[in-house]
Structure 1
């Protein structure tokens, strides 16, 4: 009986277990401003939001959606922002886009990362554990808090870019150290990382420009330059990605040229061997024929008619092949 009861509780079959389920809501506050962080929002968290905030129904649909494009929606009393940031997925070994939904109101900022975003998690943890830091961060209003969240997530991209740059440098060194065939996969992986990074950053540039335009609603005049800095950082990231795109394409072309040159060197050696062996093969073939040969055992008999027919046929075939190659401009 006890085992059966435990099984029912583990399966969540009893009403009491469902009643005890609580939404995963984290929040800090100071000076009338609240920062609510809801990581991986599910049905319970969305129900809690609908109970405490009167957001537009389409915003709740966007929160439930898995793949939402970066955008910013303006409402009379709040902003709804969707941003994407690159996060390295260790399970598949590549960069993926992590979505961050943000609600910004006059006295609150709500962040809803669809998956853990390290800079956002670190900033919230520091804000919740350090009272002095929390007071300094939240005392400047929701606009400044929004700036810090987005700025930290943007700055998180630069270490990734440095790692990608180091990888490109190693690939360049390996090309000229005789490992050109082995690094074809490395070039493909680096190229895929750059493509994924560009796919994340490109649609977000317009959103950050729109955010710069709408910042005046929740940001005091002396802090306007901060959002200009976010746009500048985003453009720097894009410029670096453009440069990496050109570099990886140049490295791929160089690697193909190195492989081609080595194949040509191999073919040159094989051709030289073939040219050296060809006269020996020709002589051995002629004197290995089962016909009378010039200078054979019987001087009176001489070369047979078959021998001269074979030699004539070989000369005709040689002349025909030379004429065909000349016609095709192969010689």
Structure 2
């Protein structure tokens, strides 16, 4: 059986630990006390057995079985059904793990269905059992204590996300290539965190107004108001994180663009420099080619070359090479190639 703890309380004091649900129900009615049953990942048959004993609504039971619900608050007659999304920060992988807990709060019973390690409901039960004056207020005291635990466990998550965002700031201007991916991952975690927190504030408002203003429940009203204030602060921090990450993403895109532009400028300057060098080399190659052309003609050793017997042939050939080379040099110089 997935029952983690099963107890009956009378006037805030634990008086029995029945071995079965039917005995819990009978003992609770006989003593006019309150039953508090804690379930951890129950099967369909196990949860239906609990639902049959305590008259839980089928739709609420279906939601509790399916899981993956958003935080919400529903009323089925005199039974409240609350879904909460606890969270905890995992230091190793530096990510947020989300859980799910369902509460059925009836006139004389409280049933908690937990689907993850968080929240620590054993600590909640121990704290309430150590405060019988609060626990004797009945199932509403259990509801308040669980809400308080879930919201309190958000604080380490806030601190963990804050540290991650501080690291992003350092990586952002350090030129690390993986920073964009890390920003997206953090943004997704913050969005999930916001979805877990978002419905809490209106839910707490409704529950706060639902508690009577009698002296008996005044402490519950005060406690619920404190939980609400804490939830608002956490929600505001999460909103701030999302804004910071959006700005970080814009800044990172700007920095990436600037780096790409700088690389393009460097490539352009390199191309220009290479082009100048090519023009200079081509110019000198053309200048050197001209005398080579003239000497090449005279080096062909044909039998009938009149210039070979001409007295002025050699000086004219040298003059021709100088004039052509000089002319090409002046031409390339004028065009800026040399």
Residues 1:256 and 1:107: Cα distance change in structure 2 (over 3 Å): same
**1:300 matched to 2:320:** yes
Q: Partner residue of 1:140?
A: 137
**1:29 matched to 2:8:** yes
Alignment coverage as a number of residue pairs: 283
Q: Is the Cα contact below 8 Å between 1:171 and 1:183 reproduced in 2?
A: yes
Matches within 5 A, 1:139-178: 139-176=136-173, 178=174
Tell me, in whole angstroms, the C-alpha distance in 2 between the residues paired with 1:182 and 1:75: 49
Matches within 5 A, 1:77-96: 77-88=78-89, 94-96=95-97
Q: TM-score, normalised by structure 2?
A: 0.71
Tell me, in whole angstroms, the C-alpha distance in 2 between the residues paired with 1:90 and 1:222: 36
Q: What is the CA distance between 1:160 and its match in structure 2?
A: 0.6
Over the aligned positions, Cα root-mean-square deviation in angstroms equals 3.5
Residues 1:50 and 1:168: Cα distance change in structure 2 (over 3 Å): closer
Q: Is the Cα contact below 8 Å between 1:72 and 1:211 reproduced in 2?
A: no
Matches within 5 A, 1:226-265: 226-265=223-262
Q: Partner residue of 1:198?
A: 194
Q: What is the CA distance between 1:79 and its match in structure 2?
A: 1.4
Q: Secondary structure of 1:38's partner?
A: strand
Q: Secondary structure of 1:164's partner?
A: helix
The structure having more radius of gyration, on CA atoms, is: 2
Q: Secondary structure of 1:300's partner?
A: helix
Q: What is the CA distance between 1:90 and its match in structure 2?
A: 9.0
- Unaligned regions of 5+ residues in structure 1, if any? 1-21, 316-331
Q: What is the CA distance between 1:236 and its match in structure 2?
A: 1.1
Q: What is the CA distance between 1:290 and its match in structure 2?
A: 11
Q: Is the Cα contact below 8 Å between 1:100 and 1:114 reproduced in 2?
A: yes
Q: Partner residue of 1:8?
A: none
Mean CA deviation greater in 274-283 or 162-171: 274-283
Q: Secondary structure of 2:198's partner?
A: helix
